[in-house]
Amino acid sequence: MPVEAPTFVQNVKKNINNTMKLDTILETEYTELQKAITDGKHEYHCFYIATINNEIPKLRTVVLRALNKDENTLSFHTDLRSNKIKEIQLNKNVSALFYDKKRRIQIRMQGIAKLDQNSNRLKKIWSFMRPESKLCYMGPFAPGERLDQFQPNLPNHNAQSITSQSNKKGYENFCRITIYLQNLDWLQLEHSGHKRIHFSFDKDSKSIWIAS
């Protein structure tokens, strides 16, 4: 007759199984985020990023450009002249929000934003960027700048005739923000009861079920 393991051993096993199950859920979300980088139709391709401006939260949509699941980071591209950069320079705390309607999953993240500007990595990204996308960084106005009347914020040439001067100017405005995730709140809507997990990524990173 098999001898039953002591209660504390059973509990340790239960905890290990639970953690493994939760980690599989995180792994799935990271896989979906990875797919979303190149799939413009993926629900996670765009997300919302919140910064703080004098205690007032500011939100905007951005496109997911990179994910590093080992470092728990994600990145987006933006214009160095934009308000979000000024806000991040004053307060590095940001929140990111994704929602996958089809799978009814919301992921909310909190993290620290880091600016990458004129680095080797950025030069490489810029050199591979489509000319049409480069145009977004070549406009004469800083995003958010006041205009007396509508004017397209585009250079006076098209994507096929980018001059080296315009290319240089665009590159100077181009930057990348990487968010170093501190925690992630996963929520799955279900009729039988919504499921919610809190993942934290500090040195004693853990994953726990929380009430929805």
Binding residues vs ligand FMN (CB under 6 A): 46, 58, 60-63, 76-79, 82-84, 143-144
Nearer to ligand FMN, 83 or 200 (CB): 83
- Secondary element (H or E) of residue 10: helix 7-38
Nearer to ligand FMN, 25 or 62 (CB): 62
Nearest distance in Å: CB 145, ligand FMN:
10
Query: Do 137 and 171 form a contact (C-beta atoms < 8 A)?
Result: yes
Specify the DSSP class assigned to residue 85: H
Summary count for the chain: helices (H), strands (E): 5, 9
- State how far Cα 46 lies from the chain centre: 9
Nearest distance in Å: CB 124, ligand FMN:
18
Nearer to ligand FMN, 177 or 181 (CB): 177
Nearest distance in Å: CB 209, ligand FMN:
33
- Secondary element (H or E) of residue 179: strand 174-188
As a whole number of angstroms, the distance between CA 172 and CA 160 comes to 20
Nearer to ligand FMN, 77 or 134 (CB): 77
Nearer to ligand FMN, 32 or 87 (CB): 87
Nearest distance in Å: CB 120, ligand FMN:
21
207-212 contacts, C-beta under 8 A, 24 or more apart: 207/19, 207/22, 207/23, 207/26, 208/22, 209/18, 209/22, 210/185, 212/187
Nearest distance in Å: CB 70, ligand FMN:
23
